[in-house]
Structure 1
Amino acid sequence: MTVTAARRAWLTDLPVLLVAVVWGSSYLAAKGVTTSGTVLAVLVLRFAVVLPVLVAAGWRKLRALNGAQIRGAGVLGLILAVIFLLETYGVVHTSATNAGLIISLTMIFTPLAESRLRGTRLPRSFVAAAGLSVAGVLLLTQGAGFSEPSLGDLLMLGAAVARTVHVLAMSRMRSVQGADAMSLTTVQLGGSVLVFALLCAAPGMGATPWAAAADFGPADWAWLLYLSVFCTLFAFFVQMWAVRRTSPSRVSLLLGTEPVWAAVAGIALAGDRPGWPGLVGVVLILAGTAWGRTAADPGPGAAQQRRRPAAGPSEEEPDATHPGLEPAGRP
């Protein structure tokens, strides 16, 4: 590789790496702006900023979706809503470090689930990596002494399972295959926001979006805009840009560093103190998920390594649902 080519590769990699950093820090941002009584309100407000931009940017292709594609994306949007609810309620009830590391188990769960559906066997090295990650989660949740995992830890584990369901549904739903990634993301987010708005309207479901907004201070608005602008819009458009200038596997590799940044943000900025068992757990999770990604690619789970959870099934485009785009952005 020439010096010029290396420089161009670095200039492409840097924005993608920044996406991994902002995704890793999104759990800290969500904790900064969200309480147990404002989860639904924050989700509505966050995507009220995002949706108009996505609609305006992709209006022509959005209109080109047929009825089957819209219905399919709507179903995926319902799954996405479940993911966001589990992640956001989960991060409220656990540490930013735990949230970011436990959700990374999606990278282990997806190849396992897909191998079962396909009736194929994963390499023994992947099974070993999965065991290492699970052991890491067990240690991570026991950082302050051996006890039951917190409610937030269990919710994040449920979110990792839901993300796996979302990825598998997206890869197997014929109606959305070949559709434009931005359009699918927009419909999914729109469906999710509709779910959040309906839940907000139900009695006893916490603050309304306008009541929460009225109580926000400057720091709350800063966190909310960070989640909307950087963890969602910036992340999505960088992926769309980068995947056309480099390989999907390279994008996936860089985005796979997200758990590292989640741990860095939680420990360095949020003051999380996982204790010695927890620190060992952090190392095991990072090692296990990194090893698992390598062991499962190529293989039944390779598609998940190339696409982050709601962009679309095309290998030419990244999956934007993880968050931050998580559309599933994070979290």
Structure 2
Amino acid sequence: MTRDRRVDLLLLGVAVVWGSSYLAAKVLLDVVGVLPLLALRYAGAAVALAAVVAVTRARVGREELRCGVLLGLSQAAILALETYGVAGTSATNAGLLISLTILLTPGFEGIVRRSWLPPAFFAAALVAVVGVALLVSASGGRLVFRVPNHGDLLVLAAAVVRAGHVTAIGRVTRTRDLDLRGLTFVQTALGAALFTVLDPGGVSRAVAHASPGQWAGIAYLALGCSVFAFLAQSWAVHRTSAARASLLLGTEPLFAVLVGVLLGGELLGPLGALGAVLILAGTAWGQRVERLARVRTAVPEPPPGPHPVVAADGPRPTSGRA
């Protein structure tokens, strides 16, 4: 298996886990609340990563602290904006707006690198966005959009921050000698402290009254959707372009719907099925365009970092996810 293929599969793994997080979070949010859930999710991830750092003697130095704070703040902002935004808008609008990350990230990366992908990539990304719009429509029914409200604006802000976050991950992991385990630990510890400070009473009540099933859901969000996802995303973006990573992570709504259909008993209508096909087609097309563009420009792929972290080294959500 080629390195490109391994990276793609890992990023798709992130999309699968993040997509499945919606069903887990939906049950928890009604009884725990947004800020307590985010605080406990981050705290669980921080504890797990502290153990990884201790056992593997990972480095948590000045660079990991500085970059970890920056990336931790942006990741926390994505989760908070997206969670509060989804609560105030329709699923159709939220899914379409957050998927704009697929189009925004190549623009951000082009500005940073001063090199642009061909128009065909943006066309492929647009196909995927249209697919998301169809997929997240109510049971595949008629698409209905309303006048944008505060929820729509929050989700749009989350899409902008996520595009910048993915671009920043690619830049800092390529230009600095960073230990990704230490970097991710700093991000999760910061998120745990931040969300706990914002609602200490809610966190205390959640800890005191959570049932075993709720703790299992929190553990899944912490270990799967945070530890594994953050580590895998940083490792993979270091080895590909931010645009390609964003395109693959943009398949998240597809997996969210599949989990809902298979485990939640939801139905996928004709328009939803067409949307799924368009997401897969747009993603495959965009991957090919990005790969050929990289070969044509003869840009050497970044070498593995000094402290590579593979999926087996640690667990693997954003926009994200709560």
Q: TM > 0.5 between the two?
A: yes
Contact 1:87–1:156 at 8 Å: present in 2 too?
yes
Residues of 1 paired with 2:150 and 2:211: CA distance?
Answer: 28
Q: 1:132 aligns with which of 127, 149, 155?
A: 127
Residue 21 of structure 1: how far off its partner (Å): 3.5
Alignment-mate amino acid for residue 42 of structure 2? F
1:199 aligns with 2:192: no
Residues of 2 paired with 1:219 and 1:137: CA distance?
Answer: 31
Contact 1:54–1:182 at 8 Å: present in 2 too?
yes
CA-based RMSD of the aligned residues comes to: 4.5
1:256-298 Cα deviation digits (max 9, x unpaired): 8655422211233234446544443333233323322332236
Aligned to 2:226: 232
Aligned to 1:76: 71
Task: Provide structure 2 residue ranges, at least 5 long, that are not aligned to the other structure.
Answer: none
Task: Provide structure 1 residue ranges, at least 5 long, that are not aligned to the other structure.
Answer: 202-206, 308-312
Aligned to 1:294: 288
Alignment-mate amino acid for residue 268 of structure 1? L
Aligned to 2:16: 21
Change (3 A) 1:209 1:227: same
1:221 aligns with 2:215: yes
Q: 2:145 aligns with which of 120, 144, 147?
A: 147
Residue 200 of structure 1: how far off its partner (Å): 1.4
Q: 2:58 aligns with which of 53, 57, 61?
A: 61
Aligned to 2:187: 188
Between the two proteins, what is the percent identity of the paired residues? Answer: 42
Q: 1:122 aligns with which of 117, 121, 126?
A: 117
Counterparts of residues 304-323 of structure 1 (less than 5 Å): 314=305, 317=308
TM-score by length of 1: 0.69
Q: 1:281 aligns with which of 261, 265, 275?
A: 275
Alignment-mate amino acid for residue 186 of structure 1? F
Contact 1:77–1:191 at 8 Å: present in 2 too?
yes
Residue 99 of structure 1: how far off its partner (Å): 6.6
Change (3 A) 1:31 1:53: same
Aligned to 1:47: 42
Residues of 1 paired with 2:248 and 2:136: CA distance?
Answer: 26
Alignment-mate amino acid for residue 170 of structure 2? S
Contact 1:96–1:266 at 8 Å: present in 2 too?
no
Change (3 A) 1:101 1:315: farther
Residues of 1 paired with 2:29 and 2:150: CA distance?
Answer: 16
Residues of 1 paired with 2:309 and 2:293: CA distance?
Answer: 18
Change (3 A) 1:115 1:176: closer
Change (3 A) 1:319 1:93: farther
Residues of 1 paired with 2:173 and 2:228: CA distance?
Answer: 28
